[in-house]
Each structure stands twice: as structure tokens, then as C-alpha cells.
Amino acid sequence: MVRLVSIEMVVVEMTSKKLSYQLMEGSFFLYMDIPASFDKPFKTYDEMLRILEDRNIIIKNKDLARRALENFSYYGLINGYKDTLLQIEGSDNFLDGTTFEELYTLHIIDTSLNSILLRYILFLERALKSRISYLVSENYGVYTNWNDFSCNNEHDYLYKNNYTNSNGNRINTLKSLKECIKDPKNNPSIIHYKTNKNHVPPWILTTNVPYGLTIQWYSILKGTDKNTICDSFISPGLIESEKTKEFVKKVFALTKEYRNKIAHGNRTFSIISLPQLPKQQLLSLTFNFISSDEYDNKMGQDDTLAVILSLIVMLNDPYIVSNLIVELRSLLTPYIEANTKISGKRILEIFGFPIDLFDRLDTLYRQKY
């Protein structure tokens, strides 16, 4: 079966699929084969429930299961956890004894943990923006011409010589920052300043700069400026200056990627391909929260625990860190005390946390503050 699609422009990644093009009246027409059957056809909720049972999942309450599927979708509830709870790798069947209610509980915990970590990553983002805007304002002024993309005006705080080009991305980063002012979308702060003030200072610019671009801005700071930022996050002398900068760079990369992944529905305990925290700095700055052997066994390298420890180190504020620990404790303690298990695994084990997580967090807090 072939379908005719009319489009103005087609960008196609060439695959083994049969594709052909025909130019007709100034437009491209793309002909492509439509499969006679689909690998993943539509299924009703009742059919989904039967598939779950076929996959060795026990459903004790089908009304609850149906409502859960209506609210969160089959993929979000089931497939996101299969790598952790399948009988063997590559199998479709879950471990014996796995219940739908367990998977639903796991999903609720996971979603709640996502919410907590997203909020504190946002605190870190704001902390970075605050530090950069303060440093740039103090050292390079409060004026920028957002229409001048040459970045050659020495009176402009986005003047290219105020920054380093060591990563080859200086001009593109500065242009992107100016674009945040030139085209503010619906940002009320920048619109107000462009309309009613005679300049847009750095602390207003940052209200329209995404986390990734903020990290790029940090990356092009000169060495002395970067040291100032790092020292405000991590007290000087705890580790060598260059190792501090390496750790800070990794934390920014880790938290950015982690935030992006969980914002798109990835499970907190199954996220892969994250930047890895350097071992020596992590153990030193967390007072050996994890052992060398635990790190070598992947705990705290590039997982959810690594994000939590990064936030505790970098936020460097006893009130914020205390609240982070309180929120984590409030979420997880009821399941710990109830000895909740998912397919025989304890909750902390599933998320890659040590069994004595909160004892360790309390000790770290006392040592740090």
C-alpha cells in the first residue's frame, strides 16, 4: 500500500525503506510504503491488561490498573521499568511475583523523586545565573547592544575580549546571549527593560537564558573569573583549583543532562549516558560519603545519587540542603519503614541508593555545616 504526501520540503534520513520523489507543480511528492501491519498497533485498555498478564504481571485490582493506564499510559507505567524488573535481559516477562500495584507504586515514587530533583536543579541554575550576572556586572558593566552581533564594542559586557575562546565557541555563545534580548519571546522582564529603561543589565538577561546557554556562558569566562565562580560554590583550599573547576564543570553537565532526560519522561534509576563525576573530588568533597569500592561499582558516578551529592556540594547553603534532605526523607521513609519491596527488591536498592542512605546524609550534613 502506498500513500501520497504533498509537502513543500522533505528532509529524509535515507534508510532501506523504499522512497521515491516526483516533482509536480513546484512541490515535492514523497511516495513511501505503508506496512500492511504495524509492530505496535493500537490496543484497548482491556487488551493492555491482558498483555500485562501475559508478561507475568499479577493484576489484583483491574479497575485500579485501568485508571492508572488512563492517567499515565502503558509505556510510562510499564516499559520504563522493564530493564530493572525483567526476568532476564531481552525477555518480555517480568520477575515472578511482580504485581501491577508494585509497578504503580514505583512509578509514583519515581515521579515524586523527579519533582524534588528538578526543583533543586533549578536552585542550582539560579545560583549559577546569579553569580555570573554579579561577576559580569561588576567587572564589565551593565550595558550591551543586543543588535551588535560583532561583539567588538569594548563598552559592552558581551564584548568578545572579556571572554576566552579556548573552546572555540565564544562568538556563538555571545550571539546567542544577545539573541535572548533581541527576541525575548514573552519574557516580561526583558520586554519591560527594553521598553522603559535605557539598557538591559546581566541580571535581567539571565531571566531569559536557558540552563544550557548559562553553562556555555560560564564556559567562556576567563580563568580568573571562572575561579571566582568556582570559589563561591566550593570553598577554596578543599581541593586543588584545577580539580575544583573540573568537578564544577562535570556537575553542570550532569545536572543539565539529568534534568533534560527526566523532563522528557525518563526513569530516574535507568537514565544512562550521563557525564561522570570525577572520583577523587567527589569522595573528598562529600567526606567519603561513598567508599572507593562503591564508586568503582558505579554508585554515585553518574546516577541519581550523583545528582543528589552534586546538589549538596554545589548549593552550599545549609537551609536549602537541609530542605532537600527533609524532602527526600519524607518521600522515601514510609516505604523504608514498611519494608516495601518491588519484585523482592527494596526501594533504596532499586534507585541505586545505599541502604543507610539517610544516616549517611545526616553525617554529611553535620560534616559540611
pLDDT digits (tens, 9 = 90+) for 198-236: 999 999 999 999 999 999 999 999 999 999 999 999 999
Q: Kindly state the cell numbers that stand for 279.
A: 572520583
Name the 3-class secondary structure at 184: coil
Strand partners, 6: 29
Distance CA 230, CA 248 (A): 7
Does residue 29 contact residue 2 with C-beta atoms inside 8 Å?
no
Rounded to whole angstroms, how far apart are CA atoms 25 and 30?
14
pLDDT digits (tens, 9 = 90+) for 228-259: 999 999 999 999 999 999 999 999 999 999 99
Tell me the chain's radius of gyration from C-alpha atoms: 25
Rounded Cα–Cα distance for residues 308 and 273 (Å): 17
Q: Which residues of the chain have pLDDT under 70?
A: 1-32, 269-272
Are 48 and 75 contacting, i.e. CB atoms less than 8 angstroms apart? no
For 299, phi and psi rounded to 5 degrees? Answer: -75, 125
Closest CA to 129 of 240, 212, 27: 212
pLDDT at 345: 85
The pLDDT score that the predictor gives to residue 27 is 52
